[in-house]
């Protein structure tokens, strides 16, 4: 007999058997059989929901789960799965209600609480999210990190600050929390409690350098320099090897015009790997201003610059050169531009600043040599021809000046000021050579260009 015929025989036999069962016995079907049938239907519908959710047929998955709910109306897993399907459809109210029902049936179902949190976060209902996360913290303390962010989003900065300090004490600091804390402490009204918190921490653990540093920073931010200095001195007393103490002590010594002690503190700071380079730059700038009025410390400034030789972001010697140039102290500007070019000899901006400083300081021999050397490296740079021509004119080498200037003027493109200066220097060169006709020609060209510039 074929399989197909066998199946038919069994099927008809099964029907026959049913028709042969007395009616009285059908009426006496045991409850456990009904229960088994319901359980089978529940399982079939539940697995069908998982299958449909897996292929992103969320409506069909929900239909299958509704059948499950009819069979087992108090099954928290069904509501949890309903919540997930509604959430994936971005039907946030139905999702939240389903997750919430799951937690009412089984308050220990952490993932249902997580589902409500996800809904609140996606809908930016941060206040309700706080309520949910406060519950999640009972399951897992890691959710305190989320709570900090939620307090920040709802501007509950006092609660955020308290929780940040608590977490810093229990699990250590994190970059994210430190950024939050810095933002909070920009507002003076929160600084008082933080200062008190740090003072208390220092009393409890006087060997923890970080608390002193934070307190010094807060006092400095609120212009309480004397208090910042007191903390720095306490830090130096408790931790004599602390580099951070020297940051505030440097400022104190500078304000007291005690250059020797300021230099000592500055050198400790610059040699330290612990201190942020932005703070080091600030200290150098303050010492630079101090040195301008106290030139006996020039050598200490030069030594300080050496600490920044490998700084790729800020070219310290160059910036100091610019500082002195802005003060028209040409000799010092030259000194620091030359220092910078020893390590970065292709910096055209600095090369031109140096040549201008030579010009302002009337160092025409240096100007002539430096511009000629640079022309060997940058033969198409018109400014170099101009400075070389100017130097040769001043040194009465008019023929050389003329040749250099005539060679360089062809490289001048879209720079009217430089073109004017070239014509003026060519006029000077021909004047020195006694060719009055060409002198007048170039001076006339320069004047025409000047008049055009005025328009």
Tokens representing 289 are 């201003």
Kindly give, in sequence order, each residue whose CB lies less than 8 Å from that of residue 4, ignoring residues fewer than 6 positions away: none
Contact predicate 426/408, CB 8 Å:
no
Mean pLDDT check: name the lowest of 134-148, 308-322, 348-362, 370-384. Answer: 308-322
Residue 77 is assigned to a structural domain of this protein: yes
**pLDDT tens for residues 39-60?**
788 888 899 999 999 999 999 9
User: Which of the listed residues 118, 139, 160 is the one where a domain comes to its end?
Assistant: 139
Q: How many CA atoms lie within 13 A of 291 on its CB side?
A: 22
Under the phi-then-psi rule, with left for phi > 0, alpha for psi from -120 to 50, and beta for the rest, what region is 30?
A: beta
User: Which of the listed residues 111, 139, 167 is the one where a domain comes to its end?
Assistant: 139
Residue 239 is assigned to a structural domain of this protein: no
Cα 348 to the center of its chain, rounded Å:
31
Kindly give, in sequence order, each residue whose CB lies less than 8 Å from that of residue 98, ignoring residues fewer than 6 positions away: 79, 80, 82, 83, 86
Place 305 in a pLDDT band, splitting at 50, 70 and 90.
confident
User: Which of the listed residues 98, 117, 139 is the one where a domain comes to its end?
Assistant: 139
Cβ neighbour number for residue 389 with a 10 Å cutoff = 30
Length of the chain: 455
Average predicted confidence (pLDDT) for the chain: 85
Average pLDDT over residues 102-126: 94
Q: Cα(257)–Cα(254) distance, rounded to whole angstroms?
A: 5
Counted domains in the chain: 2
pTM over 0.85: no
Residue 293 is assigned to a structural domain of this protein: no
Sign of the alpha-carbon dihedral angle for 268, 270, 276, 279: positive
Counting residues of the chain whose pLDDT is more than 90, the rounded percentage is 51
**pLDDT tens for residues 407-442?**
999 999 989 999 999 999 999 999 999 999 999 999
- The 3-state DSSP class for residue 61 equals helix
Of all residues in the chain, what percent are helix, strand and coil, respectively (each to 5)? Answer: 80, 0, 20
Mean pLDDT check: name the lowest of 17-21, 52-56, 101-105, 385-389. Answer: 17-21
Average pLDDT over residues 79-94: 95
Residue 394 is assigned to a structural domain of this protein: yes
CATH number for the domain that contains residue 453: 1.25.40.10
Residue 27 is assigned to a structural domain of this protein: no
Domain extent for 448: 363-455
Q: Which of 236, 233, 301 is nearest to 267 (CA)?
A: 301
Cβ neighbour number for residue 334 with a 10 Å cutoff = 23
Mean pLDDT check: name the lowest of 36-45, 83-92, 193-202, 352-361. Answer: 36-45
Q: How far is CA 6 from CA 10, 82, 194, in A?
A: 6, 43, 85
* Cβ density class 161-189: b for 16+ within 10 Å, e for less: bebbbebbeeeeeeeebeebbeebbeeee
Mean pLDDT check: name the lowest of 7-11, 248-252, 406-410. Answer: 7-11
* Cβ density class 413-442: b for 16+ within 10 Å, e for less: eeeeebbbbbbbbbbbbbbbeebeebbeeb
Q: In the prediction, which pLDDT does 10 show?
A: 28
Contact predicate 199/216, CB 8 Å:
no
Mean pLDDT check: name the lowest of 229-233, 346-350, 370-374. Answer: 229-233
Q: Cα(216)–Cα(317) distance, rounded to whole angstroms?
A: 30
Kindly give, in sequence order, each residue whose CB lies less than 8 Å from that of residue 320, ignoring residues fewer than 6 positions away: 288, 301, 305, 336
Is the confidence at residue 17, as pLDDT, over 70? Answer: no
Residue 108 is assigned to a structural domain of this protein: yes
Q: Which class for 285: exposed (0-12), middle (13-18), buried (19 or more C-beta within 10 A)?
A: middle
Residue 298 is assigned to a structural domain of this protein: no
Residue 420 is assigned to a structural domain of this protein: yes
Average pLDDT over residues 244-266: 87
Place 33 in a pLDDT band, splitting at 50, 70 and 90.
low
Q: Cα(108)–Cα(139) distance, rounded to whole angstroms?
A: 8
Place 28 in a pLDDT band, splitting at 50, 70 and 90.
very low
């Amino acid at each position: 007999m074929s399989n197909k015929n066998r199946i038919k025989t069994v099927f008809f036999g099964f029907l026959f058997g049913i028709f042969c069962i007395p009616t009285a016995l059908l009426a006496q079907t045991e409850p456990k059989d009904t229960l088994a049938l319901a359980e089978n239907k529940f399982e079939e519908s539940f697995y069908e929901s998982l299958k449909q959710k897996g292929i992103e047929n969320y409506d069909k998955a929900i239909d299958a789960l509704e059948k499950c709910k009819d069979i087992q109306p108090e099954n928290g897993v069904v509501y949890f799965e309903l919540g997930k399907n509604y959430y994936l459809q971005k039907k946030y109210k139905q999702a939240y209600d389903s997750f919430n029902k799951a937690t009412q049936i089984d308050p220990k179902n952490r993932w249902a609480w997580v589902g409500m949190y996800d809904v609140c976060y996606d809908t930016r209902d941060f206040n309700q999210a706080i309520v949910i996360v406060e519950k999640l913290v009972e399951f897992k303390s890691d959710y305190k990190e989320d709570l900090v962010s939620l307090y920040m989003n709802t501007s509950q900065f006092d609660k955020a600050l308290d929780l940040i300090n608590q977490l810093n004490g229990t699990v250590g600091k994190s970059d994210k929390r430190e950024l939050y804390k810095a933002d909070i402490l920009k507002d003076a009204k929160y600084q008082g409690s933080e200062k008190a918190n740090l003072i208390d921490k220092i009393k409890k653990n006087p060997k923890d350098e970080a608390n002193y540093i934070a307190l010094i920073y807060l006092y400095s931010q609120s212009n309480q320099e004397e208090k910042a200095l007191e903390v720095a001195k306490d830090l130096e007393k408790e931790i004599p090897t602390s580099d951070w103490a020297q940051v505030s002590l440097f400022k104190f010594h500078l304000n007291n015009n005690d250059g020797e002690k300021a230099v000592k503190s500055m050198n400790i700071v610059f040699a330290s790997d612990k201190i942020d380079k932005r703070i080091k730059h600030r200290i150098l700038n303050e010492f630079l201003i101090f040195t301008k009025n106290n030139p006996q410390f020039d050598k200490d400034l030069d030594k300080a610059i050496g600490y920044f030789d490998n700084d790729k972001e800020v070219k310290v010697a160059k910036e100091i050169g610019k500082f002195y140039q802005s003060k028209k102290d040409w000799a010092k500007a030259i000194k620091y531009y030359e220092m910078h070019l020893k390590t970065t000899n292709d910096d055209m901006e600095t090369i031109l600043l140096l040549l201008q400083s030579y010009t302002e300081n009337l160092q025409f021999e240096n100007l002539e040599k430096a511009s000629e050397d640079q022309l060997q490296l940058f033969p198409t740079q018109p400014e170099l021809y101009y400075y070389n021509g100017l130097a040769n004119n001043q040194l009465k080498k008019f023929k050389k000046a003329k040749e250099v200037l005539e060679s360089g003027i062809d490289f001048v493109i879209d720079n009217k000021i430089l073109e004017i200066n070239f014509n003026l220097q060519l006029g000077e060169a021909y004047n020195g050579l006694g060719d009055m006709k060409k002198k007048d020609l170039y001076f006339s060209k320069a004047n025409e260009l000047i008049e055009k510039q005025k328009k």
